[in-house]
Amino acid sequence: MAAIPGLGELPPPVDPTATTSSAAAPTTIEILEPFWEYRFEVPHASTLDIKLTSGLAEKDGTELAPNTPYTFTATKSKINTWHGCTLEISSSGTYDAYVSEPTADDTPMVSYLNLHFKLEAFRAIAQRTGQMGPRVLVVGPPNAGKTSLVKMLTGWSTRMGHQPLVVNTDCREGMLAMPGSLSAAVFPSIINITTEWGSTPSSGPSAVPVKLPLAYCYGLETPEKNTKLFKMLLSRLAVTVTSRLAEDPDVKTSGLIIDTGGVSVSKGSYDLIAHVVSEFSVNIVLVIGSERMGNEMQKKFAGQKTSLDEAITVIALDKSGGVVERDSGFLQHVREAAIKEYFFGTTNTTLSPFTQQVDFSALSLWRINEASPSAGLEDDIYSDAMLEKTEPSLMLQNCVLAVVYASIYDSADTIRDSNIMGYVYVADVDEKRKKLKILAPVSARLGDRPLIWGSWPEPMVSLLG
């Protein structure tokens, strides 16, 4: 089975019943002064086209090409400018947008850019000495702008000719992979700004080079669902990331940028942060949007050193005023759109998944277990098998399964530690005939590889609707 991991967000199909007036929406012009931002929210049923007609502008650290329309849907984001620009705006459907007018003294973007230049200085030293570049961990409470900051630092780094290795440890959302995964990818070129992290690595042309991630299946919504499994997969990911750094001089000097999920102020969450810092030899911890958390991190890592005998620096940053809350309903739509795009493509690149009937007996199916509710966050007393072999049932219907690089004869531990090859979707379960109807991005014998079944992302009923 070919490796086609990774996804983005799917623009909604064109509604043939839509009126001509909405299709030919009026165009507006927005003139932005230096340091201003154009902030916008586009729901799932609408699209927003933004074109840079003069000046310079960027989204999350990636520059907009002049006179090129960018279409956004199901997103909450912003366009910012350092020197001033003019934007041409048009839409299909509804959207909410406004221009924020901060000065250089008001915007935290200046501190983000100063941080980037500091990281560039570290990279220059690493290139001269052959040492490791900066390893940066971004933490903060939910809806603080962590992922946006990670993308900014990544975008600015690639524009300077570097190849940063980006790691996603937020199991609620995926980076070039399904939600429920932990992934890493080298970014040697710009990010596709109309999607979360870039285009789906799949067949078909792409204007922006596709990034191929390395992903592991955690399959649960939060780290607390099975902290021991989460830590084990993080350690596994760290081993492969460290190997890539050792083998590729350009990536080694560019360093790591690590994203995290929203952290609550609790002993267990801080323990997970410490685990990431240790496993990835993090030497810079960025705390965004929480003074209290910044103080706690300062205390926790004071006097500590990395495995490379470097001091661990903690830097507190203010969150951007443009950060908005994404509620559970919005995020569910994002997950569903990502799954749809993985199997069916976008309006620009349509994919046709293969449908096959598979006997129950032909599959090697493994279920991810949650930890025992009685187990504490630091308690190692978990169910004996974090991954156990199971039989197909009606509960599989509408679920996404991960196909991993392992043999069906491998042990549970080996299968658990294997990275993801791709995904399949269970469209129907016929218990009487003991058959599954499965969608896959390529035609392949599913019985040759183990399939991992987790509870996240949740079953998606409307994929074929």
Write out the DSSP string of 335-346: HHHHHHHHHHB-
* Residue 355 pLDDT: 92
241/62 Cα distance (integer angstroms): 24
* Residue 265 pLDDT: 64
* Residue 322 pLDDT: 74
Helix/strand/coil for 300: helix
Identify the structural domains of the chain with CATH numbers, from first to last. Answer: 118-171+218-317 (3.40.50.300), 353-453 (2.40.30.330)
Q: Can you tell me which residue has the tokens 């103080």?
A: 295
* Residue 268 pLDDT: 62
Neighbours of 65 (CB within 10 A): 13
Is the omega angle on the peptide bond into residue 457 within 30 degrees of 0, that is, cis? Answer: yes
How far apart, in Å, are the Cα atoms of 340 and each of 1, 95, 350, 449? 20, 22, 11, 23
Are 24 and 352 contacting, i.e. CB atoms less than 8 angstroms apart?
no
pLDDT in tens, the chain (465 residues): 333 343 333 334 444 443 333 345 689 999 999 999 999 999 988 999 999 999 999 999 999 999 999 999 889 999 999 999 999 999 998 999 999 999 999 899 999 999 999 999 999 999 999 999 999 999 999 889 999 999 999 999 999 999 999 999 999 998 989 999 999 999 998 888 888 776 555 544 556 666 789 999 999 999 999 999 999 999 999 999 999 999 999 999 999 999 998 877 655 678 899 999 999 999 999 999 999 999 999 999 998 999 889 999 999 999 887 777 777 888 888 888 888 888 887 766 778 888 999 999 999 999 999 876 554 444 444 444 689 999 999 999 999 999 999 999 999 999 999 999 999 999 999 999 999 999 998 887 888 899 999 999 999 877 776
Write out the DSSP string of 357-381: EEEGGG-EEEEEPPPPTT--TT---
245/136 Cα distance (integer angstroms): 14
**Max CA pair span of the chain:** 68
Are 356 and 425 contacting, i.e. CB atoms less than 8 angstroms apart?
no
DSSP state of 311: B
What angle is formed at CA 235 by the lines to CA 233 and CA 239, rounded to 5 degrees?
115
CA of residue 194 relative to chain centroid, distance: 14
Are 41 and 97 contacting, i.e. CB atoms less than 8 angstroms apart?
yes
